[in-house]
Structures are given as C-alpha cells and as structure tokens.
A = this chain, B = another copy of it.
Amino acid sequence: MNLKNALFEKINFNEDELKVILGSFEKESIIKGEHIIKTGKTCDKLYYIKEGIFRSYYINESGKDITQWFFNDGKFMTSIESFYQQKPSLYNIQALEDAVVYSINRKKLDTLFNTYPKAERFGRLLAIEMLIKVSNKLNAIQFQKAKERYEYMITEFPNIYYRVPLGYIASYLGMTQETLSRIRKK
C-alpha cells in the first residue's frame, strides 16, 4: 500500500490537504541491518513503511536482546514515547530487510497538526489503533502458554513470522529460542 492510501484509509483528506501532507514526507532507503533510531537518542521522525520489515528492541540488564515490536510494510512506525515526548528512546529500531520508507520530522508534523484538524484526528486514530494492538499482545503474553503465544504471532503478523530470525520472534513472545524451536517442530 502507498502512503496516500494509508492516509485515506482513516480520513477523507481532500486533494489540497493530501498534496501538502504527502509533500511533507521524504523518501528514504534503508539497507538491511541499519538502525533508524538507537537507544538514548531522541527520535525525531515518524516513518511510513513502503517496503521492508523493521523491529524495535532493547538490550536488558542481563545483556539479552529483546524484540519489542515488529513493523511491516503499510504501517507507521516510530519510537513512540521518544517521538511524542521528545525524550531519549528506550528502544533501537532496525531494518530486517532492505527497506523504503517515507519520513516526516516532528516539527513538520506539528505544523500539519496545527494546520489541519483532520491530521490531528489521523494522529489520534493511529495512536488508538496501536494502543489496541499493544493491548492484544499484552493479553496474549500475560496468560497464555508458549504455544498459544506463537499462534497469536501468526495471527497478528501473518506476513512476518516466517521471514525473520526465530530468536527475534522468541524474545518478542517472551520465551527462549529453544522453546520456540520445539514448538515449531510440531
């Protein structure tokens, strides 16, 4: 899906609005393995993924790499609390495949929010959509057995689960890669 359709899906922007909004984004190419934001830095951009897969992750106190979320094409992505509250990011975000994205910085986005109430609404709907997804993951993680968590993964990310390293999925689901490997065998 392209950015225009992604915007249109939630809000009926008119042609003029679309022109300005689309014009505020810049195209970027990112190669596999590259980071768009690192822990400790303040994230200044919101991204729309045209092609590719990304993950957010952090290294915990015991040195383990923990994947927090996957972002695939057609979705918006940022280090939320860093971008919106302009404070250091707790997460790294890394491309898992060569990717093409459209980005907008905080300043330009604020201008859009101030100029077009519809843009503000789009932002609100996007936040709510993400909130519901995170809640769903929480429910899956909180009370389900390892096998059911993997089933949740397949439902939530049907286009991703077979494309990214098993270890990343395991930590995303709150289990070790050995456990996930054993589950997959069945």
A residues touching B (Cβ–Cβ < 8 Å)? 60, 64, 66, 68, 80-81, 84-85, 113, 117, 120-121, 123-124, 127-128, 130-132, 134-135, 137-139, 141-143, 171, 174
Report the Cα distance A85→B128, complex, angstroms: 9
Q: How many copies does the complex hold?
A: 2
Q: Is the CB of A66 within 8 A of B143?
A: yes
CB of A155, distance to nearest CB on chain B (Å)? 15
> Does B134 contact A138, Cβ atoms closer than 8 Å?
yes
Contact B80 A135 (CB under 8 A): yes
Out of B120, B124, B134, B143, which one reaches A135, CB within 8 Å?
B134
Q: Do A81 and B135 contact each other (CB < 8 Å), given the known contacts A66-B143, A143-B174?
A: yes
